[in-house]
Amino acid sequence: MKKILFPIFITIMILATPAYAAGPWMWGGGSSVDLSSPGAIGATTPAAGTFTVLKGNFPNLVKAATGTLTAAEMKGQTVNNYGQTDDVTLTMDAGADGLSFNVLLGTAVAKYYRLDPTTVAIYLDGTSCGAGKYVGIASAVVGAAMSCKAFQTGAPTYDYYCSAISGSWSCEP
């Protein structure tokens, strides 16, 4: 019985496929689409070779000494401590819509590595560290990682949400 029903089912599916839904790659044939001249996209007609598709290639940003982490440096970059030899505190610019970055440590050193938001709060894994309190790791370890993103918490205010991926990240006591 199963041997008879399966071919009947397949035949019904082929015949039930609407002509408009079928293409040259589907059962039922259809017409091909000419992609050599796609026409207008929105209000702009593209010229050959004039656009670039970004594939998430954001630069590795080395911050191995105490300094600042500017808003421009928090737009998708990966912050790395490669070459760190002393304690590091990175003072962060105020949070703003669209800011996000990752921290991925590339040097092991018995020194701390901290992110200091100065006036706004960092929420580490959902818990607020408090306004102006840093998030850090007491001793930098290769592969310790954290991901941070600014999010709106008031009319003009954006705090940071940081999620520890690996390593012993903690809030300022």
CATH code for residues 61-171: 2.60.120
Nearest to 88 by CA among 135, 23, 149: 135
Residues in the chain with pLDDT < 70?
A: 1-58
Bridge partners (DSSP) listed for residue 152: 158
Phi, psi (rounded to 5 degrees) for 12 = -65, -45
Q: Are 57 and 51 in contact (CB under 8 A)?
A: no
pTM of the model: 0.67
Domain residue spans in the chain? 61-171
Q: pLDDT tens-digit profile of 34-71?
A: 555 555 555 444 555 544 444 556 678 999 999 999 99
